[in-house]
Amino acid sequence: MTSRRGLLLAGLLAGCARLPGDEGGIGGTGGIAGGDGKEGEEKEGGIGGTGLFAAGLFGTLAMADGRLAVAGVPLGLAPGALRPVRAGLPPLPGETVVAEAVRGREGLRARRIAAFLPLVGPLEALPGGGFGILGTRLEGWEDAPLRDAEGRPTPVAALQPGQRVAASGIWNGATLLASAVRLLPPGGLAELRGQVRTDPNGVVRVGGTRVVAAGPETPPPGSFVVLRGEPWRGGLAAWAAEVPARAVFSNRVSALAVEGVLAPNPGAPGYHLSGFGLPVESGSPVAPRPGQRRLLLGRYGGAFRVAEAVDLPEAAEARDRALAAPAAEAAIRRWLDSV
């Protein structure tokens, strides 16, 4: 058994079957596809084309009174922009999403909004309490909206070990800060989206999930991968992979508004966006606060130059209040003026 485990670890991911196109569009090679221009009028370009999007956004989706916002940034909505996820539903309020927007006459208009589901698999009861998926601990699940496969609100009592679920949220190192959870029908593959790392014991992980798979080589730490397979010994036996995964955004972006956590680069100076590997420009005006959930606003041109940041609490209602507070609204207005 030890030799088989060693063989699997040595051949992690690269020889796995390639995944077909994955609606949801979160992938990435550790860097967001770059651009350095600024849109004036709204520009056609098409998803998957060569057009330049003015802005890329990543964060919690909010809808109220006919208005839509991602990471606190108000957006208009183009027809068909909300992309259905595997359950057949478009992203729902409270879920973490990626959005691509262009500058229009009345502000930013989203051309694509897709759910980010980093963990799909059976729910696990963890020692000492709480839940995990594929060996990754979920933080904040008690406060996250819980829905069934049809999108209907579901009581927390429905969360039972063994129930197949999809968790939306933000990576913070080895844990997932859950923003929403969906109950799924039984069966189907386990799925994992995140950044490859090697723990101090030499075990390959994505988040807190130990990953094993067959193949000739191991992708380097920091690679962003999309994996599918089966739960195996508290981790994932992956037999299908996107390596490298598709870009986080489907076209180039020149400005970023990200709800996320910064982490130190392992063995090197500087910081990156946890779970994605997006590098942060060393000359950014905002000092990093590793481990702190924040709204990060700035420009992108090969690295993320963070111009402003707003600290965000973990509790959903308190986070909503922070994003609607005058300081956050002023920071978002200044960022919108720069897009």
Question: 128 or 169: which carries more pLDDT confidence?
Answer: 169
207-215 average pLDDT score: 82
296 Cβ partners below 8 Å, 6+ apart? 256, 257, 258, 259, 260, 262, 273, 286, 304, 306, 308, 309
Going by DSSP bridges, is the β-strand pair 107-115/73-77 parallel, antiparallel, or unpaired? parallel
Tens digits of residue pLDDT in 146-161: 999 999 999 988 899 9
103 contacts 335 by C-beta, under 8 angstroms? no
274-298 average pLDDT score: 93
Which of these ranges, 21-30, 44-53, 162-171, 274-283, has the smallest mean pLDDT? 21-30
Average of pLDDT values for 127-138? 95
Q: Where are the domains of the chain?
A: 2-25+117-242, 52-110+252-338
Range ranked top by mean pLDDT from 54-68, 201-215, 317-331: 317-331
The pLDDT, as a whole number, for residue 178 is 96
Sequence-distant (≥ 6) Cβ neighbours of residue 222 within 8 angstroms: 30, 195, 196, 197, 272, 277
Share of residues in the chain with pLDDT > 70 (%): 80
Mean pLDDT, residues 140-145: 92
Question: pTM for the complete prediction?
Answer: 0.85
Nearest alpha-carbon partner for 96 in 140, 53, 148? 140
Instruction: Please state, in angstroms and rounded to a whole number, the distance separating the CA atoms of residues 105 and 35.
Output: 21
